[in-house]
Amino acid sequence: MTPALLAAGSSWEALRAGFRWQVPARFNIAETCCDVHARAEPERLALIDVAETGTARRWTYGELASASNRLANAFRARGVRQGDTVAVLLPQGPAVLIAHFAVLKLGAVVLPLFTLFGPDALAYRLADAKARIVVTDAASFGKIDAIRGDLPDLGEVYCIDPAAAPVRDFWQEIAAAAEGLTPVDTAADDPAVLIYTSGTTGAPKGVLHAHRFLLGHLPNVELSQGFFPQPGAVGWTPADWAWIGGLMDMAMPCLYYGVPLIARRMRKFDPDEAFRLIRDHRATNLFLPPTALKLMRGATVPDGLALRAVSSGGESLGAEMLDWGRRALGAPINEIYGQTECNLVVCSAEGVFPTKPGTMGRAVPGAEVAVIDGGGASVPEGEIGEIAVRRGHPVMFLEYLGKPEATAAKFVGDWLKTGDLGRMDGEGYLIFVARDDDIISSAGYRIGPSEIENCLTGHPDVVMAACVGVPDPVRGEVVKAYVTLREGADWAGLEAALIERVKARVSPHVAPRWIEWRESLPMTATGKILRRELRG
Q: What is the pLDDT of residue 220?
A: 98
Read off the pLDDT of residues 60-93 as tens digits, 9 standing for 90 and up: 999 999 999 999 999 999 999 999 999 999 999 9
Going by the DSSP 8-state scheme, the letter that residue 90 receives in this structure is: -
526: pLDDT strictly greater than 60: no
Helices 494-505 + 119-129 axis angle, to 10: 30
Q: Which domains are delineated in the chain?
A: 62-211 (3.40.50.980), 440-535 (3.30.300.30)
What are the strands of the beta sheet with 168-169, ordered from one edge? 168-169, 156-159, 131-136, 85-88, 109-112, 191-197, 205-210, 399-400
Read off the pLDDT of residues 347-403 as tens digits, 9 standing for 90 and up: 999 999 999 988 999 999 999 999 999 999 999 999 989 999 999 999 999 999 999
Neighbouring C-beta atoms of residue 280, cutoff 10 Å: 14
Read off the pLDDT of residues 429-468 as tens digits, 9 standing for 90 and up: 999 876 767 778 888 787 878 789 879 988 999 988 899 9
Q: How far apart are the first and last CA of the chain?
A: 52
Read off the pLDDT of residues 318-330 as tens digits, 9 standing for 90 and up: 788 899 999 999 9
Confidence of residue 200 (pLDDT cuts 50, 70, 90): low
- Between CA 413 and CA 535 the distance in angstroms is 32
Helices 119-129 + 138-147 axis angle, to 10: 70
Going by the DSSP 8-state scheme, the letter that residue 359 receives in this structure is: S
Lowest mean pLDDT among 118-127, 204-213, 278-287, 426-435: 426-435
Please tell me whether residue 67 adopts helix, strand or coil conformation: helix
Pairing of strands 415-424, 430-435: antiparallel
pTM score > 0.75 for this model? yes
Confidence of residue 199 (pLDDT cuts 50, 70, 90): low
Q: Are 342 and 419 in contact (CB under 8 A)?
A: no
Going by the DSSP 8-state scheme, the letter that residue 254 receives in this structure is: H
112: which strand partners?
88
- Between CA 309 and CA 103 the distance in angstroms is 32
492: pLDDT strictly greater than 70: yes
Q: Are 87 and 126 in contact (CB under 8 A)?
A: yes
Confidence of residue 163 (pLDDT cuts 50, 70, 90): confident
